[in-house]
Amino acid sequence: MALFLGLDCSTQSLTAVIIDTARRAVVHQHSVVFDEMSPGYGGVNGVLPNEDSLVKRSNPLMWVAALDQLLAELQASGVDLGKVEAISGSGQQHGTVYLGAEFQSGGWLRRDDPSLPAAVKPHLRRAESPIWMDSSTFADCRRIEAALGGRRRFGGGPALPRPNALPVHRSAPSPGRSRKSTATPPSFIWSVPFFALC
Protein backbone atom coordinates (compact mmCIF):
# COMPACT_ATOMS: atom_id res chain seq x y z
CA MET A 1 0.00 0.00 0.00
CA ALA A 2 1.58 3.28 -1.16
CA LEU A 3 0.54 6.40 0.72
CA PHE A 4 0.39 10.06 -0.27
CA LEU A 5 0.66 12.64 2.53
CA GLY A 6 -0.98 16.03 2.02
CA LEU A 7 -0.23 18.75 4.55
CA ASP A 8 -1.99 22.10 4.89
CA CYS A 9 -1.02 24.90 7.27
CA SER A 10 -3.80 27.40 7.91
CA THR A 11 -3.74 30.31 10.33
CA GLN A 12 -5.16 28.19 13.17
CA SER A 13 -4.00 24.62 12.49
CA LEU A 14 -1.87 22.11 10.61
CA THR A 15 -3.75 19.26 8.93
CA ALA A 16 -2.58 16.00 7.38
CA VAL A 17 -4.60 13.95 4.92
CA ILE A 18 -3.28 10.51 3.97
CA ILE A 19 -4.45 8.89 0.75
CA ASP A 20 -4.04 5.26 -0.25
CA THR A 21 -3.01 5.74 -3.88
CA ALA A 22 -4.07 2.25 -4.98
CA ARG A 23 -7.58 2.63 -3.54
CA ARG A 24 -7.74 6.37 -4.24
CA ALA A 25 -9.24 6.82 -0.81
CA VAL A 26 -8.53 8.98 2.23
CA VAL A 27 -7.38 6.56 4.91
CA HIS A 28 -6.45 9.00 7.65
CA GLN A 29 -6.95 12.64 8.55
CA HIS A 30 -5.54 14.47 11.56
CA SER A 31 -5.11 18.09 12.68
CA VAL A 32 -3.07 19.92 15.29
CA VAL A 33 -4.76 23.14 16.48
CA PHE A 34 -2.12 25.73 17.35
CA ASP A 35 -3.96 27.17 20.36
CA GLU A 36 -4.27 23.69 21.89
CA MET A 37 -0.57 22.84 21.63
CA SER A 38 1.53 22.47 24.72
CA PRO A 39 3.64 24.49 25.25
CA GLY A 40 1.57 27.32 23.82
CA TYR A 41 3.13 29.93 21.59
CA GLY A 42 1.30 32.97 22.95
CA GLY A 43 -1.20 33.30 20.14
CA VAL A 44 -4.97 33.44 19.81
CA ASN A 45 -6.19 31.56 16.75
CA GLY A 46 -2.55 31.26 15.72
CA VAL A 47 -1.91 35.03 15.83
CA LEU A 48 0.24 36.84 18.41
CA PRO A 49 -1.43 39.72 20.27
CA ASN A 50 -0.25 43.24 19.36
CA GLU A 51 -1.33 46.72 20.49
CA ASP A 52 -1.43 47.82 16.83
CA SER A 53 -4.51 46.25 15.24
CA LEU A 54 -2.83 46.37 11.80
CA VAL A 55 0.04 44.12 12.93
CA LYS A 56 -0.66 40.40 12.59
CA ARG A 57 2.23 38.05 13.28
CA SER A 58 2.83 34.45 14.28
CA ASN A 59 5.70 32.64 15.96
CA PRO A 60 7.36 30.50 13.23
CA LEU A 61 8.46 27.98 15.88
CA MET A 62 4.75 27.25 16.41
CA TRP A 63 4.54 25.87 12.85
CA VAL A 64 7.66 23.73 13.37
CA ALA A 65 6.34 22.37 16.67
CA ALA A 66 3.00 21.59 15.02
CA LEU A 67 4.71 19.65 12.22
CA ASP A 68 6.76 17.70 14.75
CA GLN A 69 3.68 16.97 16.88
CA LEU A 70 1.53 16.06 13.86
CA LEU A 71 4.02 13.51 12.52
CA ALA A 72 4.46 11.99 16.01
CA GLU A 73 0.69 11.71 16.47
CA LEU A 74 0.29 10.10 13.03
CA GLN A 75 2.88 7.47 13.95
CA ALA A 76 1.28 6.90 17.36
CA SER A 77 -2.08 6.31 15.67
CA GLY A 78 -0.59 3.51 13.57
CA VAL A 79 0.22 5.32 10.32
CA ASP A 80 3.32 3.79 8.74
CA LEU A 81 5.12 6.90 7.51
CA GLY A 82 7.68 4.61 5.85
CA LYS A 83 5.01 3.83 3.23
CA VAL A 84 4.62 7.49 2.25
CA GLU A 85 5.88 7.84 -1.32
CA ALA A 86 4.99 11.48 -1.92
CA ILE A 87 4.30 14.56 0.16
CA SER A 88 2.50 17.76 -0.83
CA GLY A 89 2.35 20.88 1.29
CA SER A 90 0.20 23.99 1.06
CA GLY A 91 -0.49 26.92 3.30
CA GLN A 92 -0.93 30.63 3.79
CA GLN A 93 1.21 32.25 1.10
CA HIS A 94 1.32 35.91 2.12
CA GLY A 95 3.80 36.07 4.95
CA THR A 96 7.50 36.25 5.68
CA VAL A 97 9.82 34.09 7.76
CA TYR A 98 13.25 35.65 8.39
CA LEU A 99 16.08 33.12 8.30
CA GLY A 100 19.83 33.15 8.70
CA ALA A 101 21.74 31.93 5.65
CA GLU A 102 22.99 28.91 7.61
CA PHE A 103 19.42 27.52 7.64
CA GLN A 104 19.78 26.54 3.99
CA SER A 105 23.26 25.05 4.47
CA GLY A 106 21.45 22.06 6.01
CA GLY A 107 22.50 19.24 8.30
CA TRP A 108 21.97 21.23 11.50
CA LEU A 109 19.66 18.78 13.32
CA ARG A 110 21.58 16.92 16.03
CA ARG A 111 20.56 13.86 18.02
CA ASP A 112 21.01 15.79 21.26
CA ASP A 113 18.63 18.62 20.22
CA PRO A 114 15.77 18.59 22.77
CA SER A 115 13.20 19.23 20.02
CA LEU A 116 12.83 20.23 16.39
CA PRO A 117 11.80 23.81 17.35
CA ALA A 118 14.93 24.07 19.55
CA ALA A 119 17.06 23.04 16.57
CA VAL A 120 15.37 25.59 14.28
CA LYS A 121 15.39 28.54 16.72
CA PRO A 122 19.07 29.54 16.20
CA HIS A 123 18.41 29.82 12.46
CA LEU A 124 15.61 32.39 12.80
CA ARG A 125 16.58 36.03 12.41
CA ARG A 126 13.30 37.17 13.95
CA ALA A 127 10.99 35.52 16.48
CA GLU A 128 7.84 36.75 14.72
CA SER A 129 6.60 36.39 11.15
CA PRO A 130 4.07 38.76 9.59
CA ILE A 131 1.19 36.72 8.13
CA TRP A 132 -1.49 37.24 5.48
CA MET A 133 -3.71 39.24 7.86
CA ASP A 134 -1.03 41.90 8.45
CA SER A 135 -1.95 45.38 7.19
CA SER A 136 0.97 47.28 8.70
CA THR A 137 2.18 48.15 5.18
CA PHE A 138 -0.93 50.25 4.47
CA ALA A 139 0.90 53.61 4.75
CA ASP A 140 3.77 52.25 2.64
CA CYS A 141 1.29 51.30 -0.09
CA ARG A 142 -0.16 54.80 -0.14
CA ARG A 143 3.39 56.24 -0.48
CA ILE A 144 4.12 53.87 -3.40
CA GLU A 145 0.89 54.89 -5.11
CA ALA A 146 1.72 58.58 -4.69
CA ALA A 147 5.27 58.09 -5.98
CA LEU A 148 3.89 56.38 -9.09
CA GLY A 149 1.42 59.17 -9.81
CA GLY A 150 -1.66 58.00 -7.94
CA ARG A 151 -4.09 55.15 -8.45
CA ARG A 152 -4.99 56.06 -12.05
CA ARG A 153 -1.36 55.87 -13.15
CA PHE A 154 -0.80 52.86 -10.93
CA GLY A 155 -3.37 50.83 -12.86
CA GLY A 156 -6.67 51.89 -11.36
CA GLY A 157 -6.66 49.70 -8.25
CA PRO A 158 -5.05 50.34 -4.91
CA ALA A 159 -1.70 48.97 -3.86
CA LEU A 160 -2.75 46.32 -1.35
CA PRO A 161 -1.02 45.84 1.98
CA ARG A 162 1.07 42.69 2.19
CA PRO A 163 3.41 41.54 4.93
CA ASN A 164 6.94 42.57 4.07
CA ALA A 165 10.23 43.44 5.64
CA LEU A 166 9.94 47.25 5.71
CA PRO A 167 7.63 47.75 8.73
CA VAL A 168 9.30 44.88 10.57
CA HIS A 169 12.75 46.37 9.96
CA ARG A 170 11.59 49.83 11.08
CA SER A 171 10.21 48.44 14.34
CA ALA A 172 13.19 46.17 15.07
CA PRO A 173 16.28 46.39 12.86
CA SER A 174 17.89 43.01 12.29
CA PRO A 175 20.92 42.40 14.50
CA GLY A 176 24.30 42.01 12.83
CA ARG A 177 25.20 41.97 9.18
CA SER A 178 25.26 38.24 8.51
CA ARG A 179 23.64 36.99 5.34
CA LYS A 180 19.92 36.38 5.60
CA SER A 181 17.13 34.84 3.57
CA THR A 182 13.35 34.92 3.71
CA ALA A 183 10.64 32.39 2.96
CA THR A 184 6.86 32.26 2.86
CA PRO A 185 5.38 30.31 5.79
CA PRO A 186 4.65 27.14 3.74
CA SER A 187 8.06 27.20 2.04
CA PHE A 188 9.67 27.46 5.47
CA ILE A 189 7.56 24.75 7.09
CA TRP A 190 7.99 22.20 4.33
CA SER A 191 11.73 22.88 4.00
CA VAL A 192 12.47 22.30 7.70
CA PRO A 193 12.74 18.47 7.45
CA PHE A 194 14.85 18.73 4.27
CA PHE A 195 17.39 21.25 5.58
CA ALA A 196 17.44 19.70 9.06
CA LEU A 197 18.66 16.37 7.70
CA CYS A 198 20.53 17.13 4.45
pLDDT tens digits for range 90-120:
887 678 899 988 887 777 777 777 888 988 9
Whole-model pTM: value is 0.83
Decide: residue 142, CB within 10 A, 0-12 exposed, 13-18 middle, 19+ buried. middle
Contact (Cβ atoms closer than 8 angstroms) between residue 135 and residue 162: no
CATH ID of 3-197, from 3.20.20.70, 3.30.420.40, 3.40.1800.10, 1.10.10.10: 3.30.420.40
What is the phi-psi region of residue 146: left when phi exceeds 0, alpha when psi lies from -120 to 50, beta otherwise? Answer: alpha
Find the mean pLDDT for residues 130-159: 76
Which residues have CB under 8 Å from 79's CB, separation 6+?
Answer: 3, 18, 28
In 57-179, which ranges are continuous DSSP H helix? Answer: 60-76, 116-120, 138-147, 151-154, 165-171
Instruction: Please write the tens of the pLDDT for every residue from 159-194.
Output: 565 555 555 555 555 555 555 788 888 888 888 877
Percent of the chain with pLDDT over 90: 40
Cβ contacts of residue 111 below 8 Å, gap of 6+?
Answer: none
Beta bridge partners of 170: none
Q: How far apart are CA 9 and CA 126, in angstroms?
A: 20
Query: Any idea where the domains of the chain sit in the sequence?
Result: 3-197
